Amino acid sequence: MKDEECFYYPHNLDFRGCAYPMHLYLNHLGSNVCRGLLEFVEGRPLGKTRLYWLKIHLANLYGGGVDKYSFEGRLTFVIEK
């Protein structure tokens, strides 16, 4: 597959419309190692809005009540860490 430009994953849909990859081992829902091996074919710049929400998401993942801070508090927390 190293010579291929890209490949696609077949997915199954359940009755709610949730998509699940059919491949068992290498997929975007797998372990950190599996996800780390995947790369988007077409990259996009992050931009200010996406960076803002990425910082909010990072603060939400931190735990310890940081997810209860205001959005500005979460941004400050991420920047300081």
Q: What is the pLDDT of residue 72?
A: 96
Query: Are 8 and 34 part of one and the same domain?
Result: yes
Query: Are 4 and 32 part of one and the same domain?
Result: yes
Sequence-separated (6 or more) residues with CB below 8 Å from residue 21:
9, 10, 11, 27, 28, 29
Query: Are 39 and 50 part of one and the same domain?
Result: no
User: Residue 3 belongs to what domain range?
Assistant: 1-43
Tens-digit pLDDT profile for residues 25-80: 888 888 888 888 888 788 888 899 999 999 999 999 998 899 999 999 999 999 99
Query: Are 34 and 66 part of one and the same domain?
Result: no
What's the predicted TM-score (pTM) here?
A: 0.57
Q: What is the pLDDT of residue 5?
A: 82
Q: What is the pLDDT of residue 49?
A: 94
Closest by CA position to 56, among listed 79, 38, 33, 36: 79
Q: What is the pLDDT of residue 79?
A: 95
Residue 1, pLDDT > 80, answer no
What's the number of domains the chain is made of? Answer: 2
